[in-house]
Chain A
Amino acid sequence: MSVVEIDDLQKSYGSKKAVRGVSLTVEEGQIFALLGPNGAGKTTTLEILEGFRQRDAGRVSVLGFDPADRRGGREMREQIGLVLQDIAVEPYLTVRETVARNAGYYPAARDIDEVIALVGMSGKEKEKVKDLSGGQKRRLDLALGIIGNPRLLFLDEPTTGFDPSARRSAWELVRELTRLGTTILLTTHYMDEAQALADEVAVIAAGEIVARGTPETLGGRDTAKARVRFALPEGHSADELPVAVSPDGEEMVTVEADDPTEVLHQLTGWALGNNTTLPRLIVDRPSLEDVYIRLTGEGADAPQAERSMT
């Protein structure tokens, strides 16, 4: 069953087109990652799904509700959880009071102490929110996102600003929630986060989805050519090699091949026959990061991506 359905979503701010024709489907039980650089339209898309912003055109369904229709808002919000980018909780309430207050708004809230333990805040129940560190506040925000026992959880850049160990704990929590039956739609600009968590990834750039798939197949990663890279051995030129290579900066050369076995055999045979080696030899395929940078046009087209920021 699809939990989220978006069809040809459009949204402009003045003359700036923030979202242009995004379509996607999130299935029940999935972790779906919307991956893209800052200003690509991730948060705008998420905020339309959450009912914070009105769309200009397109069809949107969240758990069968139209988020733009406030009449179904309360019922929809009883079944979804949100973790926003802004940290925003009453500064003078304690951790437990903050969670208990929000628990009161849901008909089937989770146990308050269990949720506090789940986000790793046990022992901090009596601390005032204003005395928490930034990371602790974000974990409290996560607790507020899941206190209502949601069927669907939106996470907007959930680990931005986390240290590596806090990120791993947050990932573990996200996986735990999926095991308990929560569907998760998250945005991120971290490739490793999408790789570690997502069942399905959609890459968004300048308001359009430019690729979708599993982290393994995204952008044709699984069928992409393998790259064999090495430095030219001293005293030899590229012309002497048994295969054609292309220069690759820093004295490195690259050969691309559908299957590297044959090429490697020729190259290593040539090196042994000439009593030399292939320094810094690497065989790899494009990483998710390579694909991402190619798809989002970051790097070469960076200024253009900048202009489309919202």
Chain B
Amino acid sequence: MMIEYNFIQDEDVDIILNDILESYGYDFTEYSKASIKRRINRLFTLDRFMSFAEFRYRLKSDPDYMHRFIEQVTVTVTEMFRDPQFYKVLREQVLPTLGTYPFIRIWHAGCSTGEEVYSMAILLKEANLYHKALLYATDLNPEVLEKARMGIFPLSQMKQYSENYIQSGGTKDFSQYYTANYDKAKFDEELSRKMIFSTHNLVSDRSFNEFQLILCRNVLIYFDKDLQVKVFNLFEQSLDNLGYLALGSKETIRFSSLTSRFKQLDNEKIWRKIA
């Protein structure tokens, strides 16, 4: 679907985001404007609102519609073993180091429907580290967490995921990790046994543990620079010394104060806390 007209202008976006902050406590005011404006316009068109006033009233007065807003306006697109080369570096360089610890805590911040959490669980299994690992998976959107908990993904994706898995250095038969049923693939419950799902809002919630590895991929691209800096500080507080921070393929810590205390691994978007 293509949106030809933008009903919701910049000022309207500000009004709506302020309403949402006041009424529900969700703070989207420091999200990148162009992207959130486009998503809001998409929702406005999709749900056939006649006027901005009607849209605004519905959002303020109907908490169920607010849930829909969060589902539709935040981007939930993700995949398993996305950027296989990244997973290869995790497999070959990061996990062997983590394996020397008695206990491994990993945080997937902004995990969406969980495909990357299941990918990590597979890596840990294959490295024989799963038994001493815990995977914390958080998102601000409770709906996607429910999907992540189920571990059921479209069967149509499995061909691509299997290719990604092989490119990431996987040598097993990928299909051993799931059971196909009609058009769905249900991932082995053994993989989700050590996953802990919880809502967490990177904008407003604090650090809740210390981790050896934090993954936050393709989340920060939706935040403006000031908010990115705040989230980087949150990650730094939540990382053990010598812990790793992994970002999406186009994200960087270059604008933050972290650069002097983190060292990048090869050319991958993985940084290690060194001071």
Partners in one complex: no
Interfacial residues, chain B to chain A (CB-CB below 8 A): none
